[in-house]
Amino acid sequence: MESSNAVQDTTVQVTARNDLILLSLALALSQTGVMLYLTVAALTGFGLADNKSLATLPLALQFVSMAAGAFVVALAMRRYGRRPVFLLGQLIGALSALLAAVCALQGSFTGFCFATLGLGIHNATWQHYRFAAIEQAPPVWRSRAIGLVLSGGILAALVGGPLANWSQGLLLKLYAGTYLTIAALCLLTALLLLKSRLRLRRPPARGTQRSLRQIAAQPGFALAVWVGAIGFAAMAFIMNSTPLAMRLCGFASSDSNWVIQLHTLGMFAPSFVTGRLVRRFGSRSTAALGIACFLVAVSINLAGVDKLNFAAALLLLGVGWNLMFVSATDMLADSYRPEDAERAQALNDTLLFSVVAGSNLLAGFLLELHGWQWVNLMVVGPLLLTLAYVLRRRERVVVLGEGG
């Protein structure tokens, strides 16, 4: 009997590991598509918009649709399971990327903005890869499972830059070839997901679901959302402005592609160790380390506008995002009960990407009106407030623990 149980446990672990690897590869392809989009979206918007301060509007609209679609995606996954919704999201991404290519060729800024809304829905679906990882892995693997899935972004960092340079040469007009490449990546990801054994439906909830107000009132939930939102927004605020800032400083597209590639490597390479840091030092301490990386990155950007400044700052920006994002996801998993999972995840993503959308829209105006230095200075205040919040929460937990 014990031998049978041991074999069954081993089979479950092997299946979970294989699904985590597939999720990691799927994220690699999806993140490669995002990397391609980020290298050209602001430049495409700059070329299409009559008012150049609206260059980052398509980026902002992408995050608006991610936030707006978060609940729809989560509820659909609750009803139909992870894999069908993942597949539908990839199809939406492919069609939206094709529309973006057509609009770039025809010079339609309005149409391009509409296409980015579809890309946002696509991104809202694959953001749940990290939540699927939590469900597929045994509880003791949780933080490491999140890191393993996010480590797929390393592949995106390695191939994204060369692929961006290659795709931009396919159809020269406003990077239309890049959007065709994104469509192909979406279809390839869909084929990969067909091989996974992701649970079609979650088992029915045993307990009574709490209201969104009750979920949001949990101190751990508020902290997870705050850390995730500020980390993601600060990263997007600076990173999405970088290609445009480098162009205004006289650098070529290949230079900004390389910098974004290095940034993507910084975003995902730490994933192999971030889970271990969370398990050893805690999610709050790991998040604080991420904030420190952000502040150093801002200092480097403020020190000059050489290519190495952009590269070093974006690399550290990626590392800081990884530390904060994995920490926030781990905090979030501690803040809800199983029956509240999808609703809590949806509320988290809605709040998170609403903040990111606003930051992207503000970035374009700030860069146009006040320049690159103010883009960097604007994130310092929110980061310092987040650091104080994280340390204060950590101190409260220690005190309560000692008192108990």
Tell which residue, 79, 40, 85, has the closest CA to residue 62: 40
Distance of CA 184 to the CA centre of its chain: 20
Domain count, the chain: 1
Does 113 map to a domain? yes
Does 206 map to a domain? no
pLDDT tens track for 52-89: 778 878 888 888 888 888 888 888 888 888 888 999 99
Task: Return d(Cα 110, Cα 129) in angstroms, integer.
Answer: 31
Does 208 map to a domain? no
Residues 253 and 175 sit within 8 Å (Cβ to Cβ): no
**Higher pLDDT pick, 146 / 105:** 105
pLDDT tens track for 233-247: 999 889 878 888 888
Does 315 map to a domain? yes
Tell which residue, 117, 63, 25, has the closest CA to residue 240: 63
DSSP, res 304: -
Does 209 map to a domain? no
Q: What is the pLDDT of residue 371?
A: 81
Hey, what are 136's tokens? 């597929």
Tell which residue, 267, 143, 144, 199, has the closest CA to residue 19: 199
Q: What is the pLDDT of residue 110?
A: 92
pTM: 0.73
Q: What is the pLDDT of residue 400?
A: 34
- The total of other beta-carbon atoms located within 10 Å of residue 191's CB is 12
pLDDT tens track for 149-199: 777 778 877 887 788 778 877 766 768 889 999 999 999 999 888 877 665
Rg (CA), the chain: 21
Does 205 map to a domain? no
Tell which residue, 338, 291, 340, 337, has the closest CA to residue 316: 291
DSSP, res 204: P
In the predicted model, is pLDDT for residue 306 greater than 70?
A: yes
> CATH no. for residue 285?
1.20.1250.20
- What is the span of the domain harbouring residue 188? 2-200+214-403
Does 397 map to a domain? yes
